[in-house]
Chain A
Amino acid sequence: MTQTKNPGPQLGKVAATILLVLGSLVFILPVYTSLAMSLKTPSELARTAAWSWPTQPTFANYSEVLANPNVSFLRLFFNTALISTLATLGTAVSASLVAYAFAKVNFTGRDRLFMIVLSTMMLPAIVTMIPTYILFKELRWINTLLPLTVPAYFGGGAFNIFLLRQFFLGIPRELDEAAKIEGAGHWTIYSRVILPLSGSALATVSVFCFIYHWRDFMGPLIYLNDPQSQTLEIGLATYNSLRAEQWHLLMAGSIMVTIPLIVIFLLGQRYFVRGIAMTGLK
């Protein structure tokens, strides 16, 4: 091969960088605005445009949110982290098992049963809310973390099952066929072949699941009564009360709520990138 330099990729890279920078600016806008608003005093907030950078940035709103006895931020932070972690753990384990069955086990009625799995996403939660509440009440689970975490250990939700199924189906069939010929059962194929190759899929599901539970509003709202056992998103709503909005505190709070998710995403990303392509498949 000749060593002539192809200008194509270089040019493409420049174009991509320009698009990335412009796109980032657009996508960062809502969070930038939150940040700018959170660093303003209430009077500056009322007088200036939302996206102007504060003349004298102040962290007073942040310390007020952290010190507010009505919404004990650290306590809520701990609750939210616990719920999100437990639920994510359960989802990763149980959804991968179920997804494996739908992707790699050839049982009777598989495809129709999968439609049933999907159909659990199709009925609006509003009309099942009360019977579900009554159920948890009968189990004496109200005001505990159980309604928000235990179901994750039993299937992990249709969305996650579906997502993992799609990824598992993308894993070349030759691999599990080869294992089968060597006498491996489904459990071995699942744990030795499929799981090690699904790092990126599991990371995606886990990050999604964590973010979902971290930002969940309806679940904690309905199942948790005690202000001490609430989650961050519910705590934030206190600053958005009808007729008594406190935007400066709401924005400061929301920035603090978002930071852990940014960290999780930055960390989790390493694993999305390390897909099958890099696990030495060739």
Chain B
Amino acid sequence: MERMRSLVTGLVVLLFQFVLTLSPAHAEKELRLTVWDGDESLRVLREVIAEFEKEHPGVKVRLENVDYRYYFQRLLSQIAGNSAPDVAMLDPQNMQMFSKRGALLPLDPLVAETPAFKLDDYYRPIVEVFRWEEQLYVLPRDIAPIGLIYYNKRLFREAGLPEPDGNWTWDFNPRPELGTGCFTHVMKSLTKTGPDGKVKQWGFAPSWTGAFTDTVAFSLGARYVDDPANFDRMNFTDPRVVQAFDFVAKLSLKDRWMPSQTELSSVVQAAAVDLFISQRVAMYQCGIWDVPKIRSALKPGSPEFFDWDITLAPGYRDPQTGEVRRAAPTGGSGYAILSSTRHPKEAWELTQWMAGEPGMRAMARAGIAQPAMQRLARSEDWIPGPNTPEEQRYPASRIVTDEATQYVVFPPTAEYWTEVSGMVFSKTEPIYLGTATAKDSLALGQKIADQRLKTILKEEALPRFDWRIGGLLGAILLVAAVAWVFGPELRKPRTQVQRSENRAGLAFLMPWIIGTLLFTVGPMIFSFLISFSKWDIIQPASYRGMENYHEAIFSDPRFWTTVRVTLVYTVVSVPLGLIFALLLALLLNTKVKGMPIYRTMFYLPALASAIASALIWRKIFQPDGGLLNLMLFGANGQNDFFGLGRMLGVNGEPPNWLGNEKLALPALIIMSLWGVGGGMVILLAGLQSIPEFYYEAATLDGAGPWHRFRVVTLPLLSPSLFFTLITGVIGSFQVFTQSFVMTQGGPNDSTRFYMLHLYEQSFGSLRMGYASALAWLLFLVIFLATKFQWSLNKRVYYEGAS
């Protein structure tokens, strides 16, 4: 009765929801604006939007925020579902995939219609980077060169160095005669080493080692590609690029003036700023966006406060000409209008407002983003003046951000850049670890990426995908599935009993049949059909036949790597997890006081928020001060926990778990063991349902604990064990989140799971057809693996089987 009542209540609530959905749309014009900002920017945007709504009565703006990591997946789904927002934030790397496919409204006609609007107010380079085939598609809102050095004034004073004025250069070897003019010399002078040979204070740290290498390579005059918007070859074997990688590796591995990749894990992006705040590094390189974080950690007057400022990153002095060349790898963002908008006029008003003076001024005042308009970047809204409140004074020399815009180098805008450069960069990680030379690694990376580039650029004349044939194929598939299920049993005699069983089965299965036909079958068949096509999500699909499957097996350089990594993960983590879960379940099934509390504690990792857990795991695996290393090596780094320390250490040093090719996958497996809570609870429930009298009977027969376990526990638990095994294998073949959040597949592809590759192909490279082919190959493998395990079903003891 209780159950019925709650069921009815639930249905009523659902019905209510239904009615709400069908209520007519608002009379006002509603614009949807989507961004990937953080909390502080959102506060500012909200205020700016409120002002906009006041100025434009009858227009409502709904601000939607999505984390950058998931932003494009969501936007693309919305475009495909024809419910895209009106205005969306975009950056240079991701503009082309939308503009090229006609998803964005060209802005030049709108600019021309608006005499009051002056495009010349914006920094030229960021306007140029948002053009594609001569047309402007994104109105810039900020420009973000990573060309700044944050420095600790106190540490400069203590080292007897004058403060840097930005007129410095990197020389490959320190030149003390240049004083603060030589960056390498400054780095060296600010590094302090303890009597034990350990570095106490680093001279310099990059936020991202890769961005630092880019800065050096670009200032040497190298560029990774010739035509950023449309390249067909890459220059990673350029001697200047090799020189830059060698230089950066030497600074950390040999000179020890900069934390190495091992010490500054590339995945803990906040590491450099934290080292700076805690005065363990004297200078670090970043863009302007770290300012709010430093400000909130270093409040003037507080005990931890020290004086700090920013200056321009060094350049490279050409030994022949004496000319200094500077470069700053740069990002930036802006707002684009989706071509599907029903209110283009209002959307343009909003874009001008958000990526124009009102929006930029507010962002500048909050110290969040450098305005894309020079006029504002030089005004007191951005540069501290006499009226600036005390806490916003830092950093004082914000004017250098304006100068930095002269040296900006944007990442290539070609849509395939992310994919092919990712292939090179995954091979360059060993350089920073000192396990491979720059020359070899870059050559290898370029070779793999070139192969991929050739495949991508190959022009294919493909016919439009014929959905009628597709539909037919889908119907055949459906019939085949039904035939496979019922075919073999059709010849069975149809007795009275069998007919009544069939009727009952149908009745009980009804919810599942309806649900599957409604929600599951369609999308599954769709993805199967699309696996024979080339589909970029935005434009109509074209027919590619078996080419996707052929490409996966024979020419995708990442396919077999990811298959191998996934298989290793599955083969190790599933049995390990199963044994672990069983042991824990047995332990939690003992009769000890306070058991509910213990059970909850063991289950906690499975309850904790996934986002927070990922962050904490990164901290646990951190090389310097990470909990795992503390346990193995002790606080002094000299201990040796049961000999594990010596075994796992790299040259006697605590390892960087997630940054080490050999340890990253084991680290992810260790992490997965913390999450066995689910399996543990299932096995525990299974144990609990074993009737006590079986044990009593076995004991009376003289069985010892081990015998009881084998004769009673294992057989009666086998249904639960079987379940845990099958779902564990299905899940681990599809392992994704761990590497997506923790390692992004690195280092050197050692954690690049099959699903990560599939994900990058689908929403990253817009090759949904190819990704579907990958998915169906995986489906086939999992299906066969499950079929195989199902043959073990005979050994599973079901007390109630008929």
Within 8 A of A (CB), among B748-802: 755, 758-759, 762-763, 768, 771-772, 775-776, 778-779, 782-783, 786-787, 790, 798-802
Residue of chain B at shortest CB distance from A138: B81
Indicate whether A43 sits within 8 Å of B7 (C-beta atoms), given known contacts A155-B516, A262-B604. no
B7 to A89, Cβ gap below 8 A? yes
Within 8 A of A (CB), among B427-452: none
B681 / chain A contacts, CB cutoff of 8 Å: 204, 207-208, 272
Bin chain A's interface residue count.
35 or more
B790 / chain A contacts, CB cutoff of 8 Å: 115
- Contacting B802 at CB < 8 Å: which of A42, A173, A258? A173
B456 interface hit (Cβ, 8 Å): no
Determine the distance from Cα of A19 to Cα of B584 in the docked complex, in whole angstroms.
10
A225 to B64, Cβ gap below 8 A? yes
The proximity string for B residues 108-140 relative to A, scoring 1 for CB distances below 8 Å and 0 otherwise, is: 000000000000000000000000000000000
A16 / chain B contacts, CB cutoff of 8 Å: 587, 590, 592
B45 CB to closest chain A CB, in angstroms? 9
Residue of chain B at shortest CB distance from A216: B610
B83 to A163, Cβ gap below 8 A? no
Determine the distance from Cα of A257 to Cα of B505 in the docked complex, in whole angstroms.
41
A74 interface hit (Cβ, 8 Å): no
- Contacting B722 at CB < 8 Å: which of A105, A136, A166, A186? A166
A155 / chain B contacts, CB cutoff of 8 Å: 511-512, 515-516
A121 interface hit (Cβ, 8 Å): yes
B522 to A131, Cβ gap below 8 A? yes
B799 / chain A contacts, CB cutoff of 8 Å: 169-173
A269 / chain B contacts, CB cutoff of 8 Å: 596, 599-600
B786 to A115, Cβ gap below 8 A? yes
- Contacting B39 at CB < 8 Å: which of A13, A70, A126? A70
A128 to B485, Cβ gap below 8 A? no
Among the interface residues B22, B501, B519, B762, which one has the most CB atoms of the partner chain A within 10 A?
B519
B591 / chain A contacts, CB cutoff of 8 Å: 13
* Consensus secondary structure, chain B interface: helix
A128 to B526, Cβ gap below 8 A? yes
Residue of chain A at shortest CB distance from B304: A43
B69 to A242, Cβ gap below 8 A? yes
Determine the distance from Cα of A86 to Cα of B18 in the docked complex, in whole angstroms.
14
Residue of chain A at shortest CB distance from B691: A277
A46 to B277, Cβ gap below 8 A? yes
A17 interface hit (Cβ, 8 Å): yes
A122 to B302, Cβ gap below 8 A? no
Determine the distance from Cα of A107 to Cα of B800 in the docked complex, in whole angstroms.
16
A122 to B782, Cβ gap below 8 A? yes
Residue of chain A at shortest CB distance from B498: A108
- Contacting A70 at CB < 8 Å: which of B42, B274, B606? B42
Determine the distance from Cα of A82 to Cα of B13 in the docked complex, in whole angstroms.
10
Among the interface residues B41, B78, B511, which one has the most CB atoms of the partner chain A within 10 A?
B511
A105 to B17, Cβ gap below 8 A? no
Within 8 A of B (CB), among A258-282: 258, 261-262, 265-266, 269-270, 272-277, 281-282
Number of A-B contacts (CB under 8 A): 441
Indicate whether A277 sits within 8 Å of B689 (C-beta atoms), given known contacts A131-B522, A173-B801. yes
A142 interface hit (Cβ, 8 Å): yes
- Interface residue stretch chosen among B162-170, B392-400, B613-621: B613-621
Residue of chain A at shortest CB distance from B727: A159
The proximity string for B residues 678-712 relative to A, scoring 1 for CB distances below 8 Å and 0 otherwise, is: 10011011101111110000000000000000000
The proximity string for B residues 56-98 relative to A, scoring 1 for CB distances below 8 Å and 0 otherwise, is: 0000001111111110011011101111010000000000000
A81 / chain B contacts, CB cutoff of 8 Å: none
A31 to B46, Cβ gap below 8 A? no
Determine the distance from Cα of A110 to Cα of B612 in the docked complex, in whole angstroms.
43
B759 / chain A contacts, CB cutoff of 8 Å: 126
B600 to A247, Cβ gap below 8 A? no
A238 to B527, Cβ gap below 8 A? no
B539 interface hit (Cβ, 8 Å): no
Determine the distance from Cα of A129 to Cα of B380 in the docked complex, in whole angstroms.
47
The proximity string for B residues 617-659 relative to A, scoring 1 for CB distances below 8 Å and 0 otherwise, is: 1011000010100000000000000000000000000000000
B609 to A236, Cβ gap below 8 A? yes
B269 / chain A contacts, CB cutoff of 8 Å: 243
A170 to B46, Cβ gap below 8 A? no
B722 / chain A contacts, CB cutoff of 8 Å: 166
Residue of chain B at shortest CB distance from A132: B523
B518 interface hit (Cβ, 8 Å): yes
B470 CB to closest chain A CB, in angstroms? 12
A178 interface hit (Cβ, 8 Å): no
A101 interface hit (Cβ, 8 Å): yes
- Interface residue stretch chosen among B259-267, B291-299, B406-414: B291-299
B587 to A20, Cβ gap below 8 A? yes
Indicate whether A24 sits within 8 Å of B606 (C-beta atoms), given known contacts A133-B81, A155-B516. no
Indicate whether A282 sits within 8 Å of B508 (C-beta atoms), given known contacts A51-B627, A112-B485, A242-B68. no
Indicate whether A43 sits within 8 Å of B298 (C-beta atoms), given known contacts A117-B512, A269-B600. yes
A116 to B684, Cβ gap below 8 A? no
Determine the distance from Cα of A44 to Cα of B541 in the docked complex, in whole angstroms.
54
A119 to B779, Cβ gap below 8 A? yes
Further pairs besides A97-B510, A112-B485: 18, Cβ < 8 Å: A17-B592, A30-B608, A47-B278, A93-B3, A107-B506, A119-B779, A124-B775, A126-B775, A127-B772, A128-B524, A131-B522, A133-B80, A134-B80, A137-B83, A153-B515, A222-B73, A225-B85, A258-B609
A-B contact pairs, 12 of them (CB 8 A): A16-B587, A33-B616, A33-B619, A85-B10, A94-B515, A97-B508, A144-B17, A151-B519, A154-B519, A173-B801, A247-B615, A251-B612
Residues of A within 8 A of B (CB): 12-13, 16-17, 19-20, 23-24, 27-31, 33-34, 37, 42-43, 45-47, 49-51, 68-71, 82, 85-86, 89-90, 93-94, 97-98, 100-101, 103-110, 112-113, 115-124, 126-137, 140-142, 144-146, 149-151, 153-156, 159, 161-163, 166-173, 175-176, 185-186, 190, 200-201, 203-204, 207-208, 211, 215, 217, 221-222, 225-227, 233, 236-247, 249-251, 253-254, 257-258, 261-262, 265-266, 269-270, 272-277, 281-282
